[in-house]
Structure 1
Amino acid sequence: MSTRAPDVLGDLDATGLSIPIVASRFNAEVVDVLVDGALERLVELGADPDACPVVRVPGAFELPVVVARLAARPDVDGVVALGAVVRGGTPHFDYVCQAATTGLEAVARDHDTPIGFGLLTTDTWEQATDRAGGAHGNKGREAAEAVVETVRVLHAA
């Protein structure tokens, strides 16, 4: 017999939630598929599409500042952040990925707001497309689902 308290679980009900999506324009061919997947999943989970506006930023580096502004709003329950950075021949990849990842993590912690992390950081274009509706699913859908579940966990905890 277990003496452990039951786990606190979040359900996947987005009804009544306000979850904007912040998406980079850079690598739009991949990011647009992530956006479509995130929006589709949020609506499947009961979200009103009007409560899930898509806000565009130039690239992944700009995601944290806009996500922070939205996360600070009292009417926002969570934010989905979407982008795609594909490794090139310079260290730029490392700087952008690190800044975006660290920035988004800080936003979630500092604003006590769930952030759905849908930033692809891949070595090749093929890896990116595999994660945007290809062989590895759609990471936009997964980020949307993660933010809804985390919002509900926080409501239940």
Structure 2
Amino acid sequence: MATAYHNLSEYDFNSVPSAETMKFGIIVSEWNSNITGALLDGAVNTLIKHGAKKENIIVKFVPGSFELTFGANQMIKNGTVDAIIILGCVIKGDTPHFDYVCMGVTQGVTELNAKFNIPVIYGLITTNNMEQAEDRSGGKLGNKGDECAISAIKMIDFIWSLKK
């Protein structure tokens, strides 16, 4: 469903399991930091709202969105988290760079999810302009960080339910 028809921050609170014993890694791109910082705030606040402990949320920064998959891969190899959220923002410009970065990160996250048993949640905002990015990072369309946090909690719960 298109974001224009769905607020990224709206969900049924009661449908989300407790995150009290879960450990999260968040990899954040420094590029477009005004947007990625807002995404990070949304993700962390939502995790805490659902019981996650601050000490169980590890936040690391990488220079740009293309480096998000490398950061996630290294965090997976470290083995200290139950799920990873990647947060980045790529705004379309006048060159095809936008397409290469977006495709690379998307493919990278897909490969990490297929290869490892730790969910990597896709929190890369890809927009045509800054206004669209602001709308999706706490603006009129909610915060993609909130949505990613909920996805991370639910995916950890999914994995744990298979082990019961």
Q: Assess same fold via TM > 0.5.
A: yes
1:81 to 76, 79, 86: 86
Which amino acid counterpart does residue 114 of structure 1 have in structure 2?
A: P
Structure 1 residue 21 corresponds to structure 2 residue 26: yes
Give the match for residue 134 of structure 2: 129
- The number of aligned residues is 148
Please, which runs of 5 or more residues in structure 1 have no aligned partner? 1-9
Matched-pair contact (CA < 8 Å) for 2:16–2:50: no
Q: How does 1:29-44 map to 2 (within 5 A)?
A: 29-44=34-49
Match of 1:57 in 2: 62
1:111 pairs with 2:116 = yes
Q: TM-score, structure 1 length as denominator?
A: 0.90
The DSSP-based 3-state class of the residue aligned with 1:20 is strand
* Letter of the 1:32 counterpart: G
CA distance in 1, matches of 2:80, 2:71: 15
Aligned 1:140-151 pairs, distance under 5 A: 140-151=145-156
2:16–2:150: 8 Å Cα contact kept in structure 1? no
Q: Give the conservation status (yes or no) of the 8 Å contact 1:25–1:31.
A: yes
Structure 2 gap segments, 5+ residues each: 1-14
Instruction: Report the TM-score, using the length of structure 2 for normalisation.
Output: 0.87
2-side partners of 1:73 and 1:109: how far apart? 18
CA distance in 2, matches of 1:16, 1:147: 13
Measured after TM superposition, the shift of residue 136 of structure 1 is 0.8
Q: List, as ranges, runs of 4+ consecutive aligned residues in structure 1 with deviation greater than 2 Å.
A: 72-75
Amino acid at match of 1:20: G
Residue 73 (structure 1) shift: 3.2
The C-alpha deviation readout for 1:98-136, integer Å capped at 9, x for no partner, is 001110111122112111211100111111000000011
Are residue 155 (structure 1) and residue 163 (structure 2) matched?
Answer: no
Greater radius of gyration (CA): 1
